[in-house]
Amino acid sequence: MSRLIVISNRVSTGGGAQGGLAVALSAALREHGGIWFGWSGNETSEFSGQISLERIDGVTTATVDLEEQDIEEYYNGYANRTLWPLFHYRIDLAEYERSFAGGYQRANERFADTVRPLIEPDDLVWVQDYHMFPLGRELRDRGIANRIGFFLHIPWPPRRLLATLPEARALVEGLLDYDLIGFHTEEWLQSFCDYARDELGGIVDEDNVLSALGRKVRLIACPVGIDATEFAALSQNDKARQTFERLQESAVGRTLIVGVDRLDYSKGLEERFLGYERFLTEHPAERKEVVLLQIAPPSRGTVDSYQRIRSTLEGLAGRINGAHAALDWVPIRYVNQGYPREMLAGVYRASKVGLVTPLRDGMNLVAKEYVAAQDPDDPGVLILSRFAGAAEQMQEAILINPHSAEEISDALRQAISMPREERIERWRKLMNTVVEQDVMWWLKRFTDALEAIPASQSAFIDA
């Protein structure tokens, strides 16, 4: 079995917001042996390429500090102000600045210089996400002939949207130096193919191998999962039970509806609040029978669009509560805080409706966690946006268009009155998928596909 070199913006060997993913990547690194490389999260006055090696729970991590200008242009700039909004179809929020593009390229060159000496000839190299698009090419330029895979955790935008990015063509050309590119869904994969065909004259064969500009890269749709068995067990532990009881007590017999998201404009929180408000006004008889608990810890607070969405939501929650609250009832409990995973599991289990309404989402792991945490004899109902990658696998949820307040309102009504047998039937099918296509399944599917590629296929096919 080849050693694995995982490369991502941040390195985390467990816990944190991306708990499941970090745990899975750590498990793969323990099994294959190898190194997890990335930015330390720290700033240095002058970039030195000095690597900090650590061994945590059987996993070797290697991290490097970046200069303030790199962090500003590469991370806060190109990654969070340019690529994130564009890839979530929000060109209205995307900022196109040459300095960001330059800083992004420089940081990737620095990563390549730093990680290069750690890579041995038979290692599989696996680059994660939109922070690192150019890394494959940079490694090739430094003589790395290993198999290199790339996985994108966010959507791939339609061709005409991507074309608004000044560096779009260079970005996609750079991706041709990978051997394998993974997307969460067929839809994101097809958008990528559209661009490669129309803008680069590429050809995609029946095995999803793209040939363009004299190079070949294999494409796969490989949806990420959660550690479903572990999460289901978590929902039964003491801390989860305490949270469950506390919530049940405070809801005093009302139906709890839950939303759990990083505070991000892609998650459709504003539209969710408006849909819920519509439900309150359209169904006066059921009004005081429900409570929406929205948990949304702030993220990327230095970026203006994140400050704006935060204040918009505070205003909206205040207005809805002001207009509808009674002496003994507040319609929205809006909490800006992160919680340990076992508490979240208790929250999901206590909630009869899971409301997951992103406007765009690469996958969305909350939808899967909500399902995994349910009581098999009395499960809650998942309402899920059609525009989350997870919708491709989770057809038994109530699927909605998150832009329509009416659809959200109708779905809430349907979920709240759904008979137990139907809830159980839908949940069983959802749970089967969540368990079968879990995070270890994802990991194996990707690493098997990478290992199956003849060594260094991405070397120039015509050269």
Binding site for ligand ADQ (CB under 6 A): 17-21, 153-154, 224, 260-262, 295, 297, 338-339, 344, 361-366, 369
CA atoms within 13 A on the CB side of 197: 13
CA atoms within 13 A on the CB side of 120: 8
Active-site residue identified among 177, 179, 361, 438? 361
Tell me the pairing of strands 215-221 and 209-212: antiparallel
CA 276 to chain centre: 24
CA atoms within 13 A on the CB side of 221: 18
- Please report how close the Cβ of residue 337 comes to ligand ADQ at its closest, in angstroms: 6
How many other CB atoms sit within 10 Å of the CB of residue 343? 19
Compute the distance between CA of residue 107 and CA of residue 132 in angstroms, rounded to an integer: 9
Compute the distance between CA of residue 348 and CA of residue 372 in angstroms, rounded to an integer: 9
How many other CB atoms sit within 10 Å of the CB of residue 319? 12
- Please report how close the Cβ of residue 13 comes to ligand ADQ at its closest, in angstroms: 16
Q: Which is nearer to ligand ADQ, 112 or 152 (CB)?
A: 152
- Please report how close the Cβ of residue 220 comes to ligand ADQ at its closest, in angstroms: 15
For every residue of 298-355, DSSP letters joined together read B--TTSHHHHHHHHHHHHHHHHHHHHH-BTTB-SEEEE-----HHHHHHHHHH-SEEE
Compute the distance between CA of residue 233 and CA of residue 421 in angstroms, rounded to an integer: 23
- Please report how close the Cβ of residue 415 comes to ligand ADQ at its closest, in angstroms: 20
Active-site residue identified among 153, 177, 184, 438? 153
- Please report how close the Cβ of residue 71 comes to ligand ADQ at its closest, in angstroms: 20
Is there a catalytic annotation at residue 184? no
Is there a catalytic annotation at residue 153? yes
Active site residues: 153, 361
